[in-house]
Structure 1
Amino acid sequence: MLQRAEQVAHETEPWATDSHNLEGWKSNESVLERLLLETGGTQLTSVVHNSDEHGVGLLATVELVMTGATSDGWLGGQDVHYNICVRFKVSREATGPREIIPITIDCPPTVPATESAGDVGRN
């Protein structure tokens, strides 16, 4: 799952700083929204620390729950869905584009570690 989060971050970076777009760089809020959409996750928290998309330092963070699936046994085993919580940090050095770094975090107690296939989406 972290590999998927890293892929989403890597693919979102050029989109966030597309200088060929007439509107220029995307807002930090829209970057967070895109990360949420692209991961298919459920948002836990979202903070824009600096609304200036050309700012430096930590610009924004979003924490979300991503769900993966694995089989719990050999042939014909039931799929088990597991949750992983990820924090995406959007930052920028003094020069260059924004960088998006995903890191795993501990899920809050309200997020179950696993769910059977029939329980997914039932909250």
Structure 2
Amino acid sequence: MSTTTMDDEESGPVIGSGDFLADRGYNETGSLRLRILMANEIALIAEARGLTQKDVASRTGLSQSDVSRIVNRLVRDFSTDRLMRALTSLGKDVRIAWSDAKHHEGSIVVDASDSPEEERAYAL
């Protein structure tokens, strides 16, 4: 696999594996991807409701600097539990469910839909 950088003579696209996080050296891509999805949802809630970082901090019990890191997707040091609690403080239900796998090995999928009609599922 080759990559092209902006410093190369020929400017062109960067060719990756298709996994943005793995290409950047992150080992725990599933867990990190889940935390990034939750951080993105927190940022979207704040934007949709016109909330400042200080507003989000007061509603979630987080510090303003933690909220800043979350909305900027710098979530390596945040646990999944802490981000789930922030989402519930902002009025979101967080559901964890499992079912029998259709194949020999199961998969992990995050369903970020607000309703059954809406589909926003992400494979981890």
Same fold (TM over 0.5): no
Which structure ranks higher in relative contact order (CA pairs < 8 Å, sequence separation ≥ 6)? 1
Is the helix fraction higher in 1 or 2? Answer: 2
TM-score by length of 2: 0.26
Higher strand share: 1
